[in-house]
A = this chain, B = another copy of it.
């Protein structure tokens, strides 16, 4: 037992409590027939919680953690503290990249050995911990070898390195019984079109993804393969721009049934969308998988990865997820990092606890809205005209016949109120 968290006690549901605890998140509360823990499926992100040092583009490390260091001892200390935090938070899941959990070795093989040793440690810890793996992933963006892309690098050796890395991470995820495997293409994009063969890079990205899907099948991984959209940053343009873009890409490679999406609020915002838009679109396209529930500052043009703190926003997000039937393999990951001035161990706990409460409040509001049919009844009513046989027949007809009917029947459509403010008021009764 490290003493990093001092005398902090495991957090409990205590709606009136003054200490660190959950005021709204009650894992065992039954909502829509299921425990909240099983609905929300919270996950801690290893990288932001344990590997982020507090740097930003204009400043270096601010955090002072006993596990910082580039050797295996440090990695082991980090793993100890991580599982202690999972216990304190009573969180059912975590997520990791290879690079978060092990030091880089002198070459691929050494890095792999380091990685596997820590995965062994995870495996042992998970025998006694309640915390399972929501997803694993590979960091194909931090090291300078990836500066011009991973699967889309002009150098085939980088493609090879990336493929070998994903194999290792996917194998480890499978071993740890991960529910999903995520790909985030942070360097799959370009800094300038002037040196980029976008068509060729797209082909390579497609082939790479096919290989990943094939490998998952081959090893018997029955979790979900997820892509995480983000429009830009670090690159000027990232190929996995948003939900709609990835959908077209998946269609091109015949993968729209094989691969789903891990959607992050902050990335939706950077792409010019609301979070609920991206979720709703993914649902309609059949590719809604999992979420990163970390917000972006609305006045910042870069990825701020902040913990969620706005109940009306989380309610609208969970509403779209509940309309999809709720998570299956997916869950609620906090791809959120402490502000770099939040130096204390308590900040790490408090930030997660607050986020879990915010999600719980939003989730419960969403569930009640859905159970009450509060939004769905008016929505159905608005489109009711399309439920007639005539309307359906028109959809299957042609311009000539429709045009004749418009003229012969003197069709003259009359607008009806869209009632946006009324519907917003309805939502506000629930949040």
Question: Closest Cβ of chain B: how far from A47's Cβ, in Å?
Answer: 11
Q: Encode A218-240 as 1/0 by CB contact (under 8 A) with B.
A: 10000000000001111011000
Q: Is A394 an interface residue (CB 8 A)?
A: yes
Q: Is A2 an interface residue (CB 8 A)?
A: no
Q: Is A309 an interface residue (CB 8 A)?
A: yes
Binds B, one of A25-33, A72-80, A117-125, A146-154: A146-154
**Are B192 and A160 neighbours in the complex by a CB distance under 8 Å?**
no
Question: Closest Cβ of chain B: how far from A422's Cβ, in Å?
Answer: 5
Whole-angstrom distance between the alpha carbons of A168 and B242 in the complex?
Answer: 36
Q: Is A14 an interface residue (CB 8 A)?
A: no
Q: Is A3 an interface residue (CB 8 A)?
A: no
List of B residues within 8 angstroms of A71 by Cβ: none
Nearest 7 CB-CB pairs, A to B? Answer: A301-B301, A248-B248, A341-B418, A351-B421, A354-B425, A199-B284, A157-B413
List of B residues within 8 angstroms of A414 by Cβ: 145
Whole-angstrom distance between the alpha carbons of A425 and B397 in the complex?
Answer: 51
Pick the residue among B341, B357, B429 that contacts A417 (CB under 8 A).
Answer: B341
Given contacts A143-B59, A144-B62, contact A379 B195 (CB under 8 A): yes
Whole-angstrom distance between the alpha carbons of A332 and B344 in the complex?
Answer: 40
Whole-angstrom distance between the alpha carbons of A84 and B198 in the complex?
Answer: 38
Q: Encode A27-63 as 1/0 by CB contact (under 8 A) with B.
A: 0000000000000000000000000001011111110
29 contacts between A and B (CB under 8 A): A23-B429, A108-B406, A109-B410, A147-B415, A147-B418, A148-B416, A148-B418, A157-B411, A160-B411, A161-B411, A163-B402, A163-B403, A164-B399, A168-B403, A192-B423, A193-B274, A193-B316, A194-B375, A195-B378, A197-B379, A197-B382, A198-B280, A202-B284, A236-B299, A241-B244, A248-B251, A342-B421, A343-B415, A350-B425
Whole-angstrom distance between the alpha carbons of A193 and B395 in the complex?
Answer: 23
**Are B158 and A413 neighbours in the complex by a CB distance under 8 Å?**
yes
Question: Closest Cβ of chain B: how far from A403's Cβ, in Å?
Answer: 4
Q: Binding site of A, secondary structure by majority: helix, strand, loop or mixed?
A: helix
List of B residues within 8 angstroms of A191 by Cβ: 339, 341, 418, 420
Q: Is A400 an interface residue (CB 8 A)?
A: yes
Q: Is A12 an interface residue (CB 8 A)?
A: no
Whole-angstrom distance between the alpha carbons of A379 and B289 in the complex?
Answer: 37
Whole-angstrom distance between the alpha carbons of A108 and B412 in the complex?
Answer: 8
Q: Which residue of B lies closest to A241 (CB)?
A: B244
Binds B, one of A128-136, A175-183, A264-272: A264-272
Could you say which of A61, A202, A413 has the most chain B C-beta atoms within 10 Å of its C-beta?
A: A413
**Are B347 and A428 neighbours in the complex by a CB distance under 8 Å?**
no
**Are B61 and A299 neighbours in the complex by a CB distance under 8 Å?**
no
List of B residues within 8 angstroms of A141 by Cβ: 58-59
- Supply 8 further A-B pairs (C-beta < 8 A) apart from A60-B142, A193-B276: A59-B141, A59-B147, A192-B420, A193-B280, A269-B299, A309-B424, A343-B418, A357-B428
